[in-house]
Amino acid sequence: MTRVAAVDCGTNSIRLLVADVEDGRLVERTRQMQIVRLGQGVDRTGALAPDALDRTFVALRDYARVIAEMGADRVRMCATSATRDATNRDVFVDGCTAILGVAPEVISGAEEAAASFRGATAELPRDRHPAPYLVVDIGGGSTELVVGDTSVDQSVSLDIGCVRLTERHLRADPPSADQTAAAEADVDALLAGAESSVDVRSARTLVGLAGSVTTVAALALGLTSYDPTRIHLSRTSYAGVDRITDLLLTSTRAQRLDLPVMHPGRADVIGGGALVLRAVMRRWGIGEVVASERDILDGIALSLA
């Protein structure tokens, strides 16, 4: 048995998974998430902000302590959209290396897509969720669209995510109708361009990943608290996604914070993430989405097996 630790640092959150690998499968020991907003302002400035780096390093010190206490044999950290885009990513890499003892890998969009697909589909019950799959990973800075069966056949990484869309367009509280329309036009244009790279219509099951999708699913289920066991592999219809997206885009931040499943660090950007999910389903006439709590973090851990 091997104990592995995976760290995923995205635009909005940094997450940790410590798991034992048994017969090629992950047995979760702890899964943690902190909202650090590393990508704050990156779309506008092109650089990681000092206070965003500080928040990230504080969280990573907590994770380094947990990893040491739990005795992980192998550790891998990956960083995605915000770090890919930053001119000062060397400051991030040096800081993480000093704290964690291993250098973070700033992975490409294609590598991110492959890890997300592997994590999401490794244990997906095929009798209830037939392949091929369209895996949509909606992050803070980017969204990956991946089509495949047992492995990735096609993928594309798009510069649309909940943080990026919020900073570009959804700046009012709540967003104005014009701001929402501008965000939708931005997303639709990028999705149209993706059609030359990914044969979305060949997929039989849409699998949605990351906090925007799982929060929409939790709201559609009417949960009174965030429950990953209820959310994982739950199905939400297009009508449900449409209803929740409208709710989020017409609510104030304070009203979104009052929703019982809402993480405080996600309340200001959740509307952008829901908008991306709705746009994907609307464009390709997809009737329902399967929410998965297994994603790139699990893919990173599996790569250490």
User: What domains lie within the chain, and their CATH numbers?
Assistant: 2-107 (3.30.420.40), 124-296 (3.30.420.150)
By residue count, the chain amounts to 305
Q: What is the pLDDT of residue 34?
A: 96
Q: Phi, psi (5° rounding) for residue 302?
A: -65, -30
Q: What is the pLDDT of residue 305?
A: 82
Q: What is the pLDDT of residue 15?
A: 96
What are the CA-CA distances from residue 79 to residues 10, 123, 137, 277 (Å)? 6, 24, 15, 22
- The CA-CA-CA angle for residues 282, 258, 8, to 5°, reads 65
Burial 262-290 (b: 16+ CB within 10 A, else e): bbeebbbbbbbbbbbbbbbbbeeebebbb
Q: What is the pLDDT of residue 70?
A: 97
Name the nearest CA neighbour of 121 among 255, 303, 298, 305: 298
Q: What is the pLDDT of residue 148?
A: 96
Q: What is the pLDDT of residue 211?
A: 94
Q: What is the pLDDT of residue 176?
A: 97
Q: What is the pLDDT of residue 1?
A: 80
Q: Phi, psi (5° rounding) for residue 205?
A: -135, 130
Determine if the pTM surpasses 0.85: yes
Looking at residue 104, the DSSP 8-state letter turns out to be P
Residues of the chain with pLDDT under 50: none
Q: Is 290 in a helix, a strand, or coil?
A: strand
Please write the tens of the pLDDT for every residue from 222-241: 999 999 999 999 999 999 99
Q: What is the pLDDT of residue 42?
A: 86
